[in-house]
């Protein structure tokens, strides 16, 4: 994809976000840019739809769409698209051209992802055709990739193209120091709205010294993520630490419900309605910040301390799809509140920074229901405490799982690349972690046919590709 940028050797790409304190003129300008980006995005989606329709009816191809070709088309047509019909004025010169380019690029990327998903080139849930964006239902944002992007030396200001110098709500020392020392280079800046705040994400290439700074290089730990406790850390023999769940959302549910009731009594679009909406947005932002802060502090500490970290390769998406059972909704909310996948995601990039190794245990490894004393595997359901039927030792679920994960390394998994599994919807047939079969997992299909996961995956993909090829022969194979 056009946006991909590979960092040079010894450098990594990192983003630093800062809340901004724009002036009222700048706020108006920024809001306008958000709308302009959405407009360019929607225009591009319209073009792509027309091209497809044209091809379907006449069989004539216009050529494969790309950011370059659509960008050229936008430049040719922007005088008509950005025309105020009441005043007869063309308004595009008032908005940075980068904003329009970002919209066109966003739609083109979405289109290409749809195409790849249909031909089975990307795993995961199917990606739909890009949809038209609507104000209020789309994340307000735009990205600058060229032009004057500078962090001012006073560490309190950020200079951007067209918008000029904006005051930052926070001190920018985290990144300004690196830029000044010539250890970081600004690649792009994304301005977005988060609740009632405007934030800037500064994407930089940073030179990171790749020296091993791990405090205990010989330490091997297993990390079990959960809801009761966010994480439990154990060595091969004992539990050495745990991270309590801050239950950020759960603690504020009462307040959230009160605000939502209050809002629904008010007239849609009124001043009071908007005021309550702002309060709700602030509450959600507070929850998100608290959750992120807790997890970031924890993962940085882990990555800096231990030589080898073992985590479970949980399929969080399928956990979140549980339905039907009593209490399923609140369980899903609890799972979301715990941000289960986030710890693993952060460890994936932080471990290489500090020189530690992250190992993802096979998702079919029964870490919770294997007794760590005798190795007997039994069904334990959702219970927190359980007793082994073989050696009658009692276990706390998370403690036991963490110890088993730490031992996963000695099971001969080091060296062998951990397969990420066949990430496909067919997997929702299996409740994650409830399968005791080891090695190549098998899936039971809808008509009771048993087939291997890899085979099932390729069958599905071949089918999707055939359908796609029949419908759009021209677009296939890019
Ligand atoms: Zn036992």
pLDDT in tens, 232-242: 999 988 889 88
pTM listed for this prediction: 0.72
pLDDT given for residue 473 in this prediction: 39
Q: What is the whole-number distance in angstroms between the Cα of residue 392 and the centre of ligand 1?
A: 6
- Among candidates 111, 102, 104, which has minimal Cα distance to 73? 104
For tokens 């430049």, name the residue: 75
Residues of the chain with CATH 3.30.420: 220-252+288-439
pLDDT level of residue 113 (50, 70, 90 thresholds): very high
State the catalytic residues.
224, 312, 398
Structure tokens at 327: 């209490």
How does DSSP classify residue 122? S
Q: What is the whole-number distance in angstroms between the Cα of residue 395 and the centre of ligand 1?
A: 9
- Among candidates 420, 421, 470, which has minimal Cα distance to 441? 421
Q: How far apart are CA 87 and CA 42, in angstroms?
A: 23
Q: 78: number of CA atoms within 13 Å, CB side? A: 23
Query: Above 50 in pLDDT, residue 293?
Result: yes
Query: Above 50 in pLDDT, residue 354?
Result: yes
Q: What is the whole-number distance in angstroms between the Cα of residue 263 and the centre of ligand 1?
A: 54
Q: What is the whole-number distance in angstroms between the Cα of residue 214 and the centre of ligand 1?
A: 34
Number of helices (H) and strands (E), helices first, in the chain? 11, 18
pLDDT given for residue 168 in this prediction: 95
| Percent of the chain whose predicted confidence (pLDDT) is above 70 | 81
- Residues 206-210, mean pLDDT to the nearest whole number: 71
Q: Which of 98-107, 135-144, 433-442 has the lowest mean pLDDT?
A: 433-442
How does DSSP classify residue 241? E
Query: Above 60 in pLDDT, residue 267?
Result: yes
Query: Above 90 in pLDDT, residue 465?
Result: no
pLDDT given for residue 264 in this prediction: 93
pLDDT level of residue 212 (50, 70, 90 thresholds): low
Q: Which of 63-72, 374-383, 432-441 has the lowest mean pLDDT?
A: 432-441
Q: What is the whole-number distance in angstroms between the Cα of residue 378 and the centre of ligand 1?
A: 10
pLDDT given for residue 453 in this prediction: 33
Structure tokens at 175: 């990144």
For the chain, give the mean pLDDT.
80
In terms of pLDDT, which residue wins out, 293 or 383?
293
Q: What is the whole-number distance in angstroms between the Cα of residue 238 and the centre of ligand 1?
A: 16
Query: Above 50 in pLDDT, residue 214?
Result: yes
pLDDT level of residue 445 (50, 70, 90 thresholds): very low
pLDDT level of residue 333 (50, 70, 90 thresholds): confident
Cα–Cα separations (whole angstroms), residue 377 to 128, 213, 387: 41, 38, 11
- Residues 87-106, mean pLDDT to the nearest whole number: 92
Q: What is the whole-number distance in angstroms between the Cα of residue 394 and the centre of ligand 1?
A: 8
Query: Above 50 in pLDDT, residue 415?
Result: no
Query: Above 60 in pLDDT, residue 100?
Result: yes
Q: What is the whole-number distance in angstroms between the Cα of residue 375 and the centre of ligand 1?
A: 6
CA 10: distance to chain centroid? 25
pLDDT level of residue 427 (50, 70, 90 thresholds): very low
pLDDT given for residue 438 in this prediction: 36
SS (H, E, C) 282-328: HHHHHHHHHHHHHHHHHHHHHHHHEEEEEEECCCHHHHCCCCCCCCH
Q: What is the whole-number distance in angstroms between the Cα of residue 396 and the centre of ligand 1?
A: 13
- Residues 341 and 313 sit within 8 Å (Cβ to Cβ): no
pLDDT level of residue 4 (50, 70, 90 thresholds): low
Residues with CB under 5 A from ligand 1 (ion): 371, 373-374, 376, 388, 390-391
- Residues 282-301, mean pLDDT to the nearest whole number: 90
- Based on the number of CB atoms within 10 Å of its own CB, is 172 exposed (0-12), middle (13-18) or buried (19 or more)? buried
Sign of CA dihedral 144, 150, 151, 154: negative
- Classify domain 220-252+288-439 at the CATH class level: alpha beta
């Amino acid at each position: 994809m056009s946006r991909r940028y590979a960092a040079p050797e010894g450098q990594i790409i990192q983003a630093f976000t800062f809340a901004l304190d724009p002036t009222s003129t700048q706020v108006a300008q920024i809001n306008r840019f958000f709308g302009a980006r959405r407009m360019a995005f929607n225009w591009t989606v319209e073009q792509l739809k027309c091209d497809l329709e044209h091809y379907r009816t006449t069989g004539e191809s216009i050529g494969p769409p790309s950011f370059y070709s659509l960008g050229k088309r936008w430049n040719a047509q922007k005088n008509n698209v950005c025309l105020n019909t009441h005043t007869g004025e063309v308004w595009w010169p008032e908005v940075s051209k980068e904003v329009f380019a970002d919209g066109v690029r966003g739609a083109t990327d979405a289109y290409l992802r749809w195409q790849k998903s249909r031909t089975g080139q990307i795993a995961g849930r199917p990606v739909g055709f890009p949809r038209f964006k609507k104000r209020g239902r789309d994340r307000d944002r735009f990205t600058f990739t060229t032009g004057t992007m500078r962090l001012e030396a006073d560490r309190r200001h950020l200079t951007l193209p067209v918008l000029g110098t904006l005051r930052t709500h926070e001190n920018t020392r985290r990144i300004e120091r690196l830029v000044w020392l010539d250890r970081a280079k600004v690649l792009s800046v994304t301005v977005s709205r988060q609740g009632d705040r405007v934030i800037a994400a500064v994407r930089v290439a940073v030179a990171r010294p790749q020296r091993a700074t791990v405090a205990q290089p010989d330490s091997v730990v297993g990390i079990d993520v959960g809801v009761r406790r966010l994480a439990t850390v154990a060595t091969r023999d004992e539990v050495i630490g745990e991270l309590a769940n801050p239950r950020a959302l759960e603690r504020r549910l009462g307040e959230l419900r009160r605000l939502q009731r209050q809002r629904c009594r008010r007239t849609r679009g009124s001043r009071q309605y908007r005021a309550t909406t702002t309060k709700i947005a602030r509450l959600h932002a507070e929850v998100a910040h608290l959750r992120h802060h807790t997890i970031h502090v924890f993962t940085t500490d882990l990555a800096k301390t231990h030589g080898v970290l073992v985590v479970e390769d949980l399929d969080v998406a399928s956990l979140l799809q549980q339905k039907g059972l009593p209490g399923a909704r609140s369980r899903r909310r609890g799972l979301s509140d715990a941000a289960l996948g986030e710890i693993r995601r952060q460890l994936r990039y932080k471990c290489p920074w500090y020189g530690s190794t992250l190992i993802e245990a096979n998702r079919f490894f029964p870490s919770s229901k294997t007794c760590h004393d005798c190795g007997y595997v039994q069904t334990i359901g959702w219970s927190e405490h359980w007793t082994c039927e073989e050696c009658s030792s009692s276990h706390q679920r998370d403690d036991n799982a963490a110890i088993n994960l730490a031992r996963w390394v000695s099971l001969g998994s080091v060296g062998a690349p951990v397969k990420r599994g066949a990430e496909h919807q067919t997997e929702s047939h299996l409740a994650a972690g409830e399968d005791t079969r080891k090695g190549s997992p098998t899936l039971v299909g809808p008509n009771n046919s048993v087939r291997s996961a890899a085979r099932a995956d390729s069958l599905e993909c071949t089918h999707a590709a055939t359908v796609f090829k029949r419908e759009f022969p021209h677009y296939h194979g890019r």
